[in-house]
Amino acid sequence: MSDRTIILQDADFLVRDYETIERGLSVVIRGNLIVDIGKAEDLKRDHVIDEVYDLSGKVLLPGMINCHTHTAETMYRGRGHDFEFPDWMNNLVYPTNEVMEAEGDELFYYLAQLSAMEAVASGTTSFIDNCVNFTKRHVYHTAKAMDDMGFRGAVAKDAVDQSPMDRGFTGPIDEEVSAVREFLGRWKAEGSDLVQAWVGPNGTAKKPNGGATDELLHKLKAVADEYNTRLHVHLAGTHWEIENVRKQTGLVGSIAMAHQLGILDERTSLAHCIWLDRSEMEILAETGTQAVHCPSCNQICAIGVFPMVGLMELGVTCAIGTDGAPQNDSLDMFREMRSAVLLQRITHMDADAVSHKDAFRQATEYGAKVLGVENLGKIEPGYLADLTAIQVRNNPFLMPMYDPLETIIYACSGGRDVAMTMVNGRILYEKGEFRTVDPVKVMSEVEAASKRIDNKYLHTL
């Protein structure tokens, strides 16, 4: 890693975290870390600077952390919006994944890079890619794609031992567990300081479309602990799941079931967490389990609304994910933060239910907590230099600017307004240019594959 020292100079505003905003400051970055913040003239006196990057006319923010997505699903962005949720899985997700399998590892590599391109161009510096059902076979190439590009995040590998529609992605428990072990071991040997290998079962086998049995979930948590890594699971995402759990276990819901299985702790994050009662919210608070909500997915799939207000009252760490492209059509976390706030307000019929500051905190420092990286998600000395700069001068979409955070959360569009994104002290994106990836190659590979997949399946929808 380079030890060069860069000064990001004279930002109009520096949004250090959800409650600290300062004017006209500069930031010194050495290698991958923020080392100092202050007035440019003082910083230039105190540090030997190799490169000056002008931030005048811009607002500097910590990069967003997208805590739940599926990069392979970018392949079917814009399809299947009018299916009821179970049909959406059965008619869109599974068959398309099945057809994509024939394309091999390369396609999954390019889809991860395409998603990371969309992320950095919209101010996101990390994501958690939950590689579920068929895509679990391509986790190594997904992780490699992110690492090669210099993008941060985690790749969580699925394991499934029971599904009512066996399309060839379920397996016996021992085989599923050893495939997860193989990935964790192989990725550990790569020694990446950017991308983590996680365990990411799609969910409980009690979901209508199946998943991991209790025995498998229990074993997967043990494997995650053994490898000193994290567990990420879709849980309590639909009322169908909860009805099945209640019928089969007599418990109040999936969170109570997961608690009984011993898989909930501060190293477990749960995607969706929509259907849970007060006692289950308390379980999340007591165990330190994190909840990741996906506001656009809640609305597009019509599966319910995340109980953010109740969880925040109890001190549960809530973070935000976009989910995959077909549940959202965008990986832009600015859209997602806005949607998170608006969805809570209309649900509670209360314009004060949650604020833009809550959403921003969830997309930054709480996202870092889910990712398990302590010095991430704020602009502070000692923190990792994962940053994004928003163009505000001469930008008709973002003027006037009284409170930059409020304006940005409600009015910013990532791909349009992001001027620069840096991950680990390295600029990955600047003014429409991607510096660490060949965008023409990535997009032409995905475009060509999309035509083949459309011919084989998608046109039938």
Binding site for Zn ion (CB under 5 A): 323
Shortest reach from residue 435's CB to Zn ion, in Å: 30
Query: Given the complex with Zn ion, which of 241 and 323 has the nearer CB atom?
Result: 323
Shortest reach from residue 415's CB to Zn ion, in Å: 22
Query: Given the complex with Zn ion, which of 129 and 323 has the nearer CB atom?
Result: 323
367-365-217 Cα angle (round to 5): 30
Query: Given the complex with Zn ion, which of 5 and 124 has the nearer CB atom?
Result: 124
3-state helix, strand, coil in the chain (%, to 5): 45, 20, 35
Residue with tokens 């950095």: 120
Shortest reach from residue 323's CB to Zn ion, in Å: 5
Query: Given the complex with Zn ion, which of 57 and 304 has the nearer CB atom?
Result: 304
Query: Given the complex with Zn ion, which of 12 and 118 has the nearer CB atom?
Result: 118
Query: Given the complex with Zn ion, which of 339 and 407 has the nearer CB atom?
Result: 339
Cross-strand pairs, 29? 6, 34
- Indicate the residue whose CB is closest to Zn ion: 323
Shortest reach from residue 119's CB to Zn ion, in Å: 16
Q: How far apart are CA 68 and CA 320, in angstroms?
A: 7
Q: How far apart are CA 379 and CA 33, in angstroms?
A: 10
Q: How far apart are CA 427 and CA 329, in angstroms?
A: 26
DSSP-assigned states of every residue in 344-413:
HHHHHT-TTSS-HHHHHHHHTHHHHHHHT-TT-SS--TTSB--EEEEE-TT-GGG-S-SSHHHHHHHH--
Q: How far apart are CA 348 and CA 198, in angstroms?
A: 35
Shortest reach from residue 272's CB to Zn ion, in Å: 7
Residue with tokens 């505000």: 392
94-120-338 Cα angle (round to 5): 80
Supply the Cα-derived Rg of the chain in whole angstroms.
21
Query: Given the complex with Zn ion, which of 18 and 76 has the nearer CB atom?
Result: 76
Residue with tokens 């509670």: 348
Shortest reach from residue 320's CB to Zn ion, in Å: 13
Cross-strand pairs, 102? none
Shortest reach from residue 328's CB to Zn ion, in Å: 10
Q: How far apart are CA 43 and CA 47, in angstroms?
A: 6
Shortest reach from residue 68's CB to Zn ion, in Å: 6
DSSP code of residue 150: T
Query: Given the complex with Zn ion, which of 17 and 323 has the nearer CB atom?
Result: 323
